[in-house]
Amino acid sequence: MLAIEIRFPAGKYHATPWNRQVNEGAVEWPPAPWRILRALISTWHHKLQAEIDEETIRKIIEKLDSLPQYFLPKASLGHTRHYMPLYREATTMVIDTFAAIDRESRLIIQWPQVDLSIEEMSALSKLLDRIGYLGRAESWIEARLAEDPMVQANCIPLNEGSDLSDGFEGIQTLAAMPSQEYLIWRRKEVEARVSRRLAELGNASKLKKKDLDKIEESLPADLFSALHADTGDLKKAGWSQPPGSVWMYYARPRDAFAVVPRAAKFEDHQEPATVARFAVASQVPPRLTGAVSFAERIHLALVSRSHGSTVFTGCDESKRPLTGHRHSFIFCESNLGLDKGRRGEITHVVVHAPMGFELKERRALDSLTAVWGHGGHDIQLILLGVGQPEDFAGFDESKGESPMLAKSNRWISRTPFVSTRHPKATKTRVPKLDDNGLQIGSAEHELRRLLKLNCFPAPILVEPVPSTDLAGHETRWLAFQRERNHGNGRREASGYGYGFRIKFPEQVQGPIALGYGAHFGLGLFVPESP
């Protein structure tokens, strides 16, 4: 048994998983096995090469390439928001999410089947003593060999086909291949690259030495070398994940982030937040076409966690529906970012309540970390922050900005608009028309009526669109779920979905959602082009 313990003197752990970006709000917890090995090698390379020979560090890494177990202390999710300067005096908002951990709590990492020699233990102790941070530079740590290595682990690797126990959730984390497996993988990868190169050359029977050497040099010689590779260089070279790494599944306690930060008291003059934005993470993320069902699950969770808050239920204390659509809307986004949104999956969720979130609602939002998904794959929700629409608005999805909250004069349907009224006709089935020649109760007529009712300026253009672009595919409105599983909101008898392009005479602030199911993600519009 080998175990190390880590404390976080600053009370925070900042680390973004390999396949996520900072503004998505994802936190790597626990620290990935791959990250731990890289931290040991980096410390040796920069601080201890004169004291520890390469053979010893190689032996340590080779023994630690098996999957560890973890004891996770209680933690909570937190974040800061700040503007980072860019070139030409421009700035961009950065959302920095972290795990908050009590300064005296210990993270224990165990390798139950690993035994080190006295020399290797001494070298490892020196390495741990010299590691200053883990993850980002502000994630200060104090690491050492564990005084009590037999602590019961609560985060363990999942074997293929094994079921999750009650109270646990499955997470994905980056680990290292065993050293021997890496050599086998490398040989096969070299052979594959040689074959592809020969196919490109056509009639060549073998490659020139310089071409072979180039292929050989493109792949680290062994796992130890692979762990040295610079992350930025790998991403520039097009690697979807580092060579020598594998994605592994762990069982983590569902309440890993159960400690809820103490909510700040609102000052009398402070305007209540109206928007909460979440990043979505799951092994099997839901698609935007099923946004209604996903939004309903989030709605039920918020109602439960807020003990029936009016903001989330949409009803007063006498259970009478509120008027004016002042209660919460739940919108789903499928935004293109780093390896996200490529299959039309939901990447973010926005909870928008014009009446504002007070203390009870803020606590419910803070504590919402997951909802159930299909097939036993829970869907994690990471709160990126709360504020006003303009705090999250922007057109650069790769930076985590939300177009649906931006300002624009041109808007287009993202989810189908479902009318709440029937088209009107005479007894002889002649359509009843308004002063503009539109059939009363038709989809366009109803859209224009709702725009006026919600105080939007009269549009100068409304035209139908047959579909939306979802992950590079034109997805027709019939592909979307257009009816709630719960609730009795009014909709057109057919439940048919429509799409429209709207042009206003001036810029308007999102979000724009109208019609049946608008509080659950239907009838959502996004800016067509910035």
* pLDDT for residue 340: 52
Contacts of 308 (CB under 8 A, 6+ apart): none
- pLDDT at 314 (0 to 100): 82
- Adjacency order of strands within the sheet including 75-85: 12-13, 91-101, 75-85
| The total number of residues written for the chain in this structure | 530
- Token pair for 180: 């021997």
Q: Which structure tokens are listed for 500?
A: 């429209």
Class of CATH domain 2-159: alpha beta
One digit per residue, the tens of pLDDT, for the chain of length 530 reads: 899 999 998 888 988 887 776 666 678 999 999 999 999 999 999 899 999 999 999 999 999 989 999 999 989 887 665 555 554 555 555 567 788 898 889 999 999 989 999 999 999 999 999 998 898 877 889 999 997 767 889 999 987 667 777 888 888 899 999 999 999 999 998 898 888 888 888 767 788 888 888 888 888 899 999 998 777 677 676 677 889 999 999 999 988 887 654 444 444 445 788 999 988 877 777 899 999 999 999 999 999 998 889 999 888 777 787 777 788 999 999 986 544 546 788 989 999 999 899 888 988 998 888 887 765 567 888 888 888 898 888 887 766 788 999 999 999 999 999 988 888 888 888 888 888 888 888 889 999 999 998 889 999 999 999 999 987 889 999 999 988 876 655 555 467 899 999 999 999 999 999 999 999 999 999 998 75
Report the pLDDT value the prediction gives residue 237, as an integer from 0 to 100. Answer: 67
Neighbouring-strand partners of residue 169: 252
What's the rounded Cα separation, in Å, for the pair 513 and 506?
Answer: 18
Nearest-5° angle of CA 521, CA 417, CA 392? 40
3-state secondary structure labels for all residues of 296-363: HHHHHHHHHHCCCCHHHHCECCCCCECCCCCCCEEEEECCCECCECCCCECCEEEEECCCCCCHHHHH
CA atoms of 214 and 404, how far apart (whole Å): 46
Q: What is the pLDDT of residue 289?
A: 92
Q: Which H or E element spans position 390?
A: helix 389-392
Nearest to 37 by CA among 234, 229, 251, 239: 229
H helices present in 3-80, as ranges: 33-43, 54-63
Tell me what pLDDT residue 79 has.
65
For the chain, what are the domain ranges? 2-159, 179-243, 275-527
Token digits of residue 324: 């004016």
Amino acid at 374: H
Preceding amide of 261 cis, omega within 30: no
pLDDT of residue 489: 52
* Separation CA 12–CA 312 (nearest Å): 31
Position 343 scores a pLDDT of 74
Contact 227, 44 (CB under 8 A): no
Residue 94's pLDDT is 59
